[in-house]
Amino acid sequence: MDLSIIIPLLNEEESLPELVEWIKRVCDEQQYAYEVIMIDDGSTDTSWQVISELSRKDEAIKGIKFRRNYGKSAALNEGFAAAAGEVVITMDADLQDSPDEIPELYRMIVEEGYHIVSGWKKERHDPITKTIPTKIYNGISRMVTGIKLHDMNCGLKSYHKSVVKTVEVYGEMHRYIPAMAKWEGFTKIGEKVVIHRARKYGTTKFGLNRFVNGFLDLMTIFFMSKFGKKPMHFFGTIGTVLMIIGFFINAYLSIAKMFFQQYGMTTRPLFFLGLLCLIVGTQLFLAGFLGELIARNSPYKNTYHIEEKIKL
């Protein structure tokens, strides 16, 4: 199969028939062997009934229904697991992503050899309260991940099949699939300017809390990519530095007490700072040591992804 199109959705009953018809027209024109996998993330409207009806009319339409709302990451993860196409394209169900972008996104993967191509909504039809935080968020993401994408969180992306079968999306990590893919060795990541259409039906499902959650997830990605398999390098380094500082502070105070009997060692704030450094440093060092024990005994410690072999 050439192409899998994955569409996570929540309460999008009005837009689904129009979206499916648009995708079908584009894919038929390009003569793709394709499938459309719709993941109903706990909709409370008639979205699942609409998907069922569309599936009866067209065998290319497939559906997965969650019992309740689990979030976009869970929906994408299930869609990735079910996808059979050599190229996988994700898009939102609200008609703000244009299916006319599909052929070029597909071509960039197949002909130019990209692992991921991310959409860039250069001109957005969103209020300023959404666009400014998005620019700040994307700027921080570029600095932390080292991936030069203008729109990390754009829902319109294309992937080589090997990427979606390797990367596991959980929590709210769908924002950072390019970063997780880079972590797994998929380094050829491209970008394409795409059309951002105004919302035609319904209302947005995302609030300002996504920026807070996005920042916390970004810190998780940064830590896991740098120290996920070697936590001692992070906790142990900080802990050792603090223990050394605490040792020298208390050594200085002890020597001063020995030579100057009137010297009030335990009445000085410096004494308590030294003790604090020793205690916190020891705790961080032990945290790194325990992290190493867990990492080395994890059943996933040797999960290395081999791209190809010769004569083996």
pLDDT digits (tens, 9 = 90+) for 212-231: 776 777 777 777 767 767 88
Site of tokens 């795409």: 194
Indicate the pTM of the whole model: 0.76
Share of the chain above pLDDT 90, in %: 52
Interval 74-96: pLDDT, tens: 999 999 999 999 999 999 999 98
Which among 167, 164, 293, 141 is positioned nearest to 229, based on CA atoms? 293
Q: Are 274 and 221 in contact (CB under 8 A)?
A: no
Give 102-135 pLDDT, tens digit per residue: 999 999 999 999 999 999 988 876 666 666 777 7
- Give residue 61's pLDDT: 95
pLDDT at 18 over 70: yes
Check pLDDT > 70 for residue 312. Answer: no
pLDDT at position 184: 85
Distance, CA of 51 to chain centre: 27
How would residue 308 be classed by pLDDT, with cut points 50, 70 and 90?
A: low
Give dist(CA 107, CA 192) in Å, integer: 12
Alpha-carbon span 134 to 212, nearest angstrom: 12
> Which tops the pLDDT comparison, 22 or 180?
22
pLDDT, position 310:
47
